[in-house]
Amino acid sequence: MSELKGSETDRFLKFFAILNTLLEEKKLGRILVGGFAAEIYSGRGYRTGDVDIIIEGGAGDLVKQVLKEISDRGLRIYLPKIREISEKGIDIVGDVYTKRKPPIRMQVDSSYYVYILPPEEVIITYLEAWKFWNSTEDRIKAVLVYLNGGSKGAEDPFRQGGMDSPHI
């Protein structure tokens, strides 16, 4: 866990990137980060209380086993006991990515990467929630992602700078 350094956002990204990279190297599947992408794209202007993940390719049981070893279990979420990643819960929300645009492969450092929702999908998801549930919090998330440049396209925020990018 000594690799989990930096801001809370950076530490969670690194944790999931390590886990995802190991899964893909063993051809077991991949991890996609959902709503947490709003925190990433908004430059931490929006902070989430949990990280929603999708685990594709049949690796769900293995990831759940890892999370059980390092977490307490809430009603639905895993609450990590490791200090570096104890600030947020982890929620496995599915096993199939269903959005229209493909996820972005985000290189977290030279060795590890994770997949995240594209900024356009984040904005659309939160605008839909605002419209259908009158959720002002979701409106704020969409606006923060848009204003921070998340809507410029998938390439812009992360391809050049990784975790040290000014967008994080």
Structure confidence at residue 161 (pLDDT): 41
Confidence of residue 164 (pLDDT cuts 50, 70, 90): very low
Question: For all residues of the chain together, what is the average pLDDT?
Answer: 88
Predicted confidence at residue 74, as pLDDT, reads 87
Each residue's pLDDT tens digit, 24-55: 999 999 999 988 999 999 999 999 999 999 99
Parallel/antiparallel/unpaired status of strands 89-94 and 50-56: parallel
For residue 158, pLDDT over 70 is answered with: no
Average pLDDT of span 136-165: 66
Whether pLDDT at 69 is above 60: yes
pLDDT at position 149 is: 78
Q: What is the mean pLDDT of residues 107-118?
A: 95
For residues 101 and 110, give the distance between their C-alpha atoms in angstroms, rounded to a whole number.
25
Domain ranges of the chain: 8-117
How would residue 150 be classed by pLDDT, with cut points 50, 70 and 90? Answer: low
User: What are the DSSP E strand ranges found in the chain?
Assistant: 30-33, 50-56, 71-73, 78-80, 89-94, 104-107, 113-116
E-strand spans in 57-112?
Answer: 71-73, 78-80, 89-94, 104-107
Q: Which CATH number fits domain 8-117: 1.10.287, 3.50.4, 3.30.460, 3.30.70?
A: 3.30.460
Region of residue 27 (phi > 0: left; psi between -120 and 50: alpha; otherwise: beta):
left
